[in-house]
Homo-oligomer: A and B are copies of this chain.
Amino acid sequence: MIRIKYHTPGTAPATLVAKANPNAGPPTLTLIQYDSETIFEGTFDTFEELMERFDPAKVNWINVEGLSDVGLLRKFSERFHIHPLALEDVLNTSQRPKVEHYTDHYFIVSEMIYQDEQSRVTVEQLSVFLGDCYVITLQEEAEHDVFDPVRARLRGGRGYARKMKADYLTYALLDATVDQFFPILESVGESIEEIEDELLSKPTKETLKSLYQSKRLLLQLRRAAWPQREIFNTLIRDDTGLIGKETQVFLRDCYDHSTQIIDILESFRDLAAGLMDVYLSSLGLRTNEIMRVLTVISAVFIPLTFIAGVYGMNFDRADPWNMPELSWPYGYPLCLAFMATVATSMLILFKRKRWL
C-alpha cells in the first residue's frame, strides 16, 4: 500500500545499508555517451572501467539498475562529490519526490509509476544526479524502466535529443516518468465509470472493494504527483546555470502536465467520494424496496391468517352464542369474501401510499 522504508531508528545519519532484494544480483552499470555527432553505448562491470570511458566533453548518462552494492555507491559519492545524506536517500527507496541543489549538481528523487504486464500499478524510486556533463540515474530494480523511448531517440539522433546537454536529457527522463501517469489515469477513469454503472444497477461487496481500491490508488498517485510538480517548479526557477533557458521551456511543459495530472486526480477523487455516497444511497434504496415487499406481503396475509385462525377455533357449538358463523349456510363463501375484501383494501391502501 504505502511503502515505508526507513533505517533503524538511531542509526547514524548517512549510514548506507542496502535495502534491496537480497536475491538481486549485482547492479548493472550502463553508459550512454553522446554529443550531436557521436553516440556510444556500453555496459561495464566495474566503476573503474566506466570512469575510464567517462568524457567531460560529452553528455554522459550513467544508469545504475539495482542498489545492492553499497561499495559502488560510495565510489560514485567520492568521484561526483555526492553528499552522504543524498546517498542515503537513494537507498531508502520510499523517499518523497524532491529536488536538492548541491554545489555542482542537482539531486532529484522522483517516482517511476508504471503498469506492469498484469497491469498492476508499480512504483519504483528513481534517483537522478545532474551535473554539467553527466546524468546519473539510479533505479531500484533492473527489470523494467520507462526510458527505452528516450534511448531510442538518442540513438536515432532525431529531434532535440542529441543536440542538447545533460539538462535536456534530465528533462527527457523526467518527462518520461510524468507521461506514465496518463495511461494509468485513463484506466482509473474507466474503472470509476464501470463502478458507477454497477452501483446503480446492483451494488455488491465486490463493487465496494474495487471502489475502495480505486480510492487507494488515487491516493498513491496523488502522493507522487504533488511533490513531482514541485520538482519542476524548482527546476524552472533554477539560477545555478545547470539548466539552460531552452530546457526551462520544456520543463514548463512538464510542469503544465503535472498540473493537469493533479487536476484530473482531484476530479477523480471527487467522483470517487461521490460514488461512495451513491453506494450508500443505492443500498438504502434497496433496503427500502425489500422492506416494502415484506411489509406488503405481511400486511395482506397476517390479518387473513388471523381470520382463518378464528374459524379454526373449537368452541362448543352446542351453545348458540359460540361461533354461529360456522353453521351459516353460506358461512364459508362469506368468510372467503370477507378475506378478499380485507386483502383488497390493504392493497388499495398501499397503492395509495405508492408502495406498489
* Chain A contacts to B: CB under 8 angstroms: 1-2, 4, 6-7, 9-15, 83, 85, 88-89, 94-96, 98, 100, 146-150, 153, 158-161, 171-172, 175-176, 179-180, 182-183, 185-186, 189, 192-193, 196, 200, 202-205, 208-209, 212, 215-216, 219-220, 223, 249-250, 252-253, 256, 259-260, 263-264, 267-268, 270-271, 274-288, 290-295, 297-299, 301-306, 308-317, 319, 321-323, 325-333, 335-336, 354-355
Residues on B with C-beta less than 8 A from A13 are 159-160, 171-172, 175, 250, 253
CB distance from A77 to the nearest CB of B (A): 14
Closest residue of chain B to A109 (Cβ to Cβ) is B256
A295–B306 touching, CB < 8 Å: no
Closest residue of chain B to A153 (Cβ to Cβ) is B12
In the complex the two chains form, what is the Cα distance from A192 to B319 in whole Å? 66
B146–A259 touching, CB < 8 Å: no
Residues on B with C-beta less than 8 A from A10 are 146-150, 176, 179
Residues on B with C-beta less than 8 A from A4 are 182, 185-186, 189, 264
Residues on B with C-beta less than 8 A from A259 are 96
Closest residue of chain B to A12 (Cβ to Cβ) is B159
Residues on B with C-beta less than 8 A from A275 are 212
Residues on B with C-beta less than 8 A from A88 are 253
Given A12-B159, A268-B2, A282-B205; A311-B315 close (CB under 8 Å) = yes
Given A208-B281, A280-B284, A293-B295; A263-B223 close (CB under 8 Å) = yes
In the complex the two chains form, what is the Cα distance from A31 to B323 in whole Å? 93
- Which of B161, B267, B327 interacts with A316 by CB under 8 Å? B327
